[in-house]
Amino acid sequence: MKNLLTVDDLDPSAATILVRSDLNVPIADGRVEDDFRIRASLPTIERLRAAGAVVVVASHLGRPKGVDPTLSLAPVASEMADLGGFPVNMLDAVVSDDVAAAIRAGRPGDVFMLENTRFEPGETKNDSQLAAALASLADAFVLDAFGSAHRAHASTVGVADHIRSVAGPLLLDEVTALSRLLDDPPRPFTVLLGGAKVSDKLGVIHALMPKVDRMLIGGGMCFTLLVAEGYEVGTSLFEPDRLADVEELLRGPYGGRIVLPRDLVVADRFAEDAEPQVVARDAIPDDAMGLDIGPVTAREFAQLVRDSAGVFWNGPMGVFEWEAFRRGTEVVADAFRGHDGFTVVGGGDSVAAVRMLGVEADISHVSTGGGAGLEMLEGRELPGLVALERWGR
């Protein structure tokens, strides 16, 4: 990991610190549905409060096109206050004279939350004027949003052009955990991939194949690989335009490390109340779609996870939100219970699954970043880290 300044390099006492957190959480009916990222952001904010800083928290939420009241961070501020046990002053804009005046009036230990950074059209364009306005609110900047570090936005990259900028503890923990898998993974090293589309994971598959001992592939993405192997997959989701890429992987020098499902749970339609049926991979009915890995595959994948010293898991094995198609993900998640190796789970659906199934505490590192984690494992530079590196020279 390249040199980065950290919170230890700041004197937060009586200073105003802008913290870019990743608070992009699911909201329904004005309430936070999953508080994982809020909880993960709290230790950094609490540390700065305790040191006497005025803390200004910035984050995006969703993908609004302009100001969208349904994507206000107000419910997030309320949830953070409840979880942290301290007041969070919700501001009504990202940057404005009123926002700046409210922050200037803050006292040591106060916490302010800016409105959704993506309400500003300049955020995703890394607009220099917006970045300068954000920077003018504070004395220093802490990037703690690993889940947004792969985006070159005004609140993740642009601010660092204007004020002293450091890496937050959460960001450092994420980079350290993923760097270990990249640079010196414990062996045997197993990667477990799921989710809907193989196109989303091709980059990380190519990058990790030479490093892994086994790559287990389930979820909807497995069907493109099964088609490439000559199997009929019924009405299952697969990506015809990725068949050539997948065939190259399977027939390449590391193709033998890929483990595909031997059996699957299928149904005649994509519905929660559809009747599940277990079939071998060479016996998928023409009118059926795969919605989970089967029991034989689940046991095989779970045993390979148990036998590994290092594991990275991204993507559920099936439609785990529906009980009839949860078992594959559940059996694999159970393999992490009491695991004494180094295990990392990343990606929103995977994290939701391990939390739902009660194995979060058994995992060495649960990552807050899906896309950012995959890009790092692909060996790509994250713009947020590059911006910080200038201050660490």
Burial of 310 (0-12, 13-18, 19+ CB in 10 A): buried
The question of whether 37 is a catalytic residue gets the answer yes
Q: pLDDT for 263-313, tens place per residue?
A: 999 999 999 999 999 999 999 999 999 999 999 999 999 999 999 999 999
Please pick, among 47, 197, 306, 355, the residue that the annotation labels catalytic.
197
Model pLDDT, residue 2: 65
Residue matched to tokens 């779970």: 302
Query: What is the enclosing helix (H) or strand (E) of 329?
Result: helix 327-334
Q: Is residue 393 scored above 90 in pLDDT?
A: no
Residue 163 contacts residue 141 (beta carbons within 8 Å): yes
Distance CA 178, CA 345 (A): 10
Furthest C-alpha separation in the chain: 69
Closest CA to 315 of 356, 351, 355: 351
Q: Of these residues, 20, 37, 118, 211, which one is catalytic?
A: 37
Per-residue pLDDT tens over the stretch 326-375: 999 999 999 999 999 999 999 878 888 898 889 999 999 999 888 899 99
* pLDDT on residue 8: 95
Q: Are 174 and 369 in contact (CB under 8 A)?
A: yes
Kindly report the pTM of this predicted structure.
0.92
Cβ pair 7, 130 in contact under 8 A: no
383 pLDDT exceeds 70? yes
Contact criterion met (CB below 8 Å) for 64 and 116:
yes
Instruction: Please report which helix (H) or strand (E) contains residue 328, including its range.
Output: helix 327-334
Q: Catalytic residue at 158?
A: no
How far, in Å, CA of 262 to CA of 254, rounded?
20
- In 3D space, the residue among 81, 39, 38, 88 whose CA is nearest the CA of residue 59 turns out to be 38
- List 255, 371, 380, 392, catalytic entry: 371
317 near 300, Cβ under 8 Å?
no
Establish whether 65 is a catalytic residue.
no
Distance CA 201, CA 270 (A): 23
DSSP string, 79-142: HHHHHHTS--EE-S-SS-HHHHHHHHT--TT-EEE---GGGSTTTTTT-HHHHHHHHTT-SEEE
At residue 6, φ and ψ (nearest 5 deg) are -125, 180
Note if 355 is an active site residue. no
Structure tokens belonging to residue 172: 């450092």
d(CA 37, CA 184): 27
Compute the radius of gyration of the chain from its Cα atoms. 22
The owner of tokens 């993506």 is: 118
332 secondary structure, DSSP code: H
Residue 333 pLDDT? 95
